[in-house]
Structure 1
Amino acid sequence: MPRDTLTREQIVRAAIELLDAEGLEGLNMRSLGKRLDSAATAVYWHVKNKDNLVILASNEVWNEVGLPDLDTVDWRTAATTMATDLYRMVTAHPWLVMAFASQPLYGENKARHDDHSLAVFEKAGFVGAEADQAAAAVFTFVLGHSIGLSATVSVNRRLTNAGRNAQETIREAMTQATEIAMRFPHLRERVDSFAAGDYGAAPEHSFEFGLQAILDGIEHRLGARSLPLPDRDDRTDRTDRAGAEDLDSVHR
């Protein structure tokens, strides 16, 4: 495809497809040009370099995360929906977690998501830095929960590209991990309760459990900060009364 008919949108979409298939390590201008049926040099007319392309690709996939209408749903429903959508998006594009660890990622679509996330927690009752902290707690949980899948995809790809049987290699590693785990009582109990080969796998519904636990904690903090503190005079009166009662009990 000649450079004058090639568009940035086509390049970004092809880059996402290549990243999904080959990961960050498989993205290069030559492979991208081949996928676009174009010379690699033509791609450089639209993007600066690989890092710039990853930024553009990552910004595009943020469009896949829904932004609930805060006029029609409560904050907790909105937070759950956004986190679940984000988890689905990140696991559909495992390279994104690795990209976060390797370079700054930004763009209008990501900013729109982040802005809406802040609005969710401001609706809950947080203000200023507290809203940022609540949003960050949920975001980092989702990203952290996605690391395992992203790592598995990356390991499978690396082993396959090296000409090794990925499934067999992982199975051998898990066998050794299980043997080590059997030396420890709590891990041994867990191994015994899982089917063969399942040790190391997260229990079912772990994402949902963790997300709701975090939101429970956030909601608890909201409840705790909304409780009025007694004024100083009232606290002093209660302390004096308690002291008098203790003294009276001694005399009795």
Structure 2
Amino acid sequence: MVLMATKTQRTERRTDALSKERIVEAAIEILDADGESALTFRALTTRLATGSGAIYWHVANKNDLLAATTNDVIARVMTDVASGAEPREAIRAIALGVFDAIDAHPWVGAQLSREPWQSAMLQIFESVGGQLQALGVPERAQFASASALVNYILGVAGQNAANARLLPRETDRTAFLATVAARWAQHDPAEYPFVHQVATQLSEHDDREQFLAGIDLILAGIGTIDPGSS
């Protein structure tokens, strides 16, 4: 009886120590290392040295776990945005934070696209929308403006992460882009005049700077909205 009681106490202590935060942290490590297909409850039990019941106590299924991990990553981005920043700079900080988060955790972009109604998406939409309100964007234009910004942020960030996954990790980015630029230059300039014009910029461009340039273009357009027009 004493041995059974001791065993029960140890099990309870181990279960109590297994918080949802620890489960999410372990899940993120698995997702970052091996992708979504590697995230299973069996893999989690092995990594956390616990039973599946202890994990199911905190998360109902894999979809619930993916939502929790995505929410955790995006929440960190929003926490890092300076509260006293000017609205335009705050929007740029939110955008760049999400861009970098998806670059570091490519599965986040896929999850946000798959379930756009989840809490993480609401965090992004609320943060961007709140800054547009502070910027003085007319109420009638706030939804369209926030949608344009959020769709751009997630679209470009997701595509950038997808492009990175297509290439081996050891790929030299500058050399790769130089090769692509050389291919562009081989096309008939009469048929592709613009491509020829910008080919030299391709190998030298910075993804983050180009991304922020797009944010600035959208904000410039939003800034032309007439507050008095219907």
- TM-score, normalised relative to structure 1: 0.67
C-alpha deviation, 1:219, in angstroms: 0.9
Contact kept, 8 Å, 1:3 with 1:45, in 2: the verdict is no
Q: Which residue of 2 aligns with 1:114?
A: 125
Which whole-Å deviations, capped at 9, do the CAs of 1:194-222 have from their partners, x for residues lacking one? 69xx49x766721121111111111122x
Structure 2 residue ranges without an equivalent (≥5): 1-10
Q: Which residue of 2 aligns with 1:80?
A: 92
Call closer, same or farther: CA 1:89–1:130 in 2, change over 3 Å: same
Q: Find the partner of 1:209 among 196, 199, 213.
A: 213
Contact kept, 8 Å, 2:75 with 2:123, in 1: the verdict is no
Q: Whole-Å Cα distance in 2 between the matches of residues 75 and 55 of structure 1?
A: 28
The AA in structure 2 aligned to 1:24 is E
Q: Whole-Å Cα distance in 2 between the matches of residues 12 and 85 of structure 1?
A: 20
Q: Which residue of 2 aligns with 1:49?
A: 61
Contact kept, 8 Å, 1:68 with 1:82, in 2: the verdict is no
Q: Which residue of 1 aligns with 2:44?
A: 32
Question: How many pairs were matched up?
Answer: 210
The AA in structure 2 aligned to 1:212 is D
C-alpha root-mean-square deviation of aligned residues, in Å?
Answer: 3.5
C-alpha deviation, 1:53, in angstroms: 0.4
Q: Whole-Å Cα distance in 1 between the matches of residues 208 and 131 of structure 2?
A: 28
> Which structure carries more relative contact order (alpha carbon 8 Å, separation 6+)?
2
Contact kept, 8 Å, 1:61 with 1:89, in 2: the verdict is yes
Which whole-Å deviations, capped at 9, do the CAs of 1:40-74 have from their partners, x for residues lacking one? 453223211111101111111122223443xx443
Q: Find the partner of 1:23 among 28, 35, 59.
A: 35
Which whole-Å deviations, capped at 9, do the CAs of 1:153-198 have from their partners, x for residues lacking one? 4335xx79xxxxx859xx99x969964772342334544x269xx4
The AA in structure 2 aligned to 1:213 is L
Which whole-Å deviations, capped at 9, do the CAs of 1:80-120 have from their partners, x for residues lacking one? 2222222222222211111123234523x654543332221
The AA in structure 1 aligned to 2:222 is I
Q: Which residue of 2 aligns with 1:131?
A: 142
Call closer, same or farther: CA 1:88–1:50 in 2, change over 3 Å: same
C-alpha deviation, 1:150, in angstroms: 1.6
Q: Whole-Å Cα distance in 2 between the matches of residues 142 and 3 of structure 1?
A: 39
Contact kept, 8 Å, 2:24 with 2:69, in 1: the verdict is yes
Q: Whole-Å Cα distance in 1 between the matches of residues 128 and 207 of structure 2?
A: 28
Query: What percentage of aligned pairs have identical amino acids?
Result: 25
Q: Find the partner of 1:101 among 110, 113, 116.
A: 113
Call closer, same or farther: CA 1:8–1:129 in 2, change over 3 Å: farther
Q: Based on CA coordinates, which of the two structures has the bigger radius of gyration?
A: 1
Call closer, same or farther: CA 1:177–1:3 in 2, change over 3 Å: farther
The AA in structure 1 aligned to 2:60 is K
Q: What does residue range 60-209 of structure 1 map to in structure 2 within 5 Å?
A: 60-65=72-77, 66-69=80-83, 72-104=84-116, 106-107=118-119, 111-156=122-167, 167=171, 179=183, 182-185=186-189, 186=193, 187-191=195-199, 193=200, 198=203, 205-209=209-213
Q: Which residue of 2 aligns with 1:235?
A: none
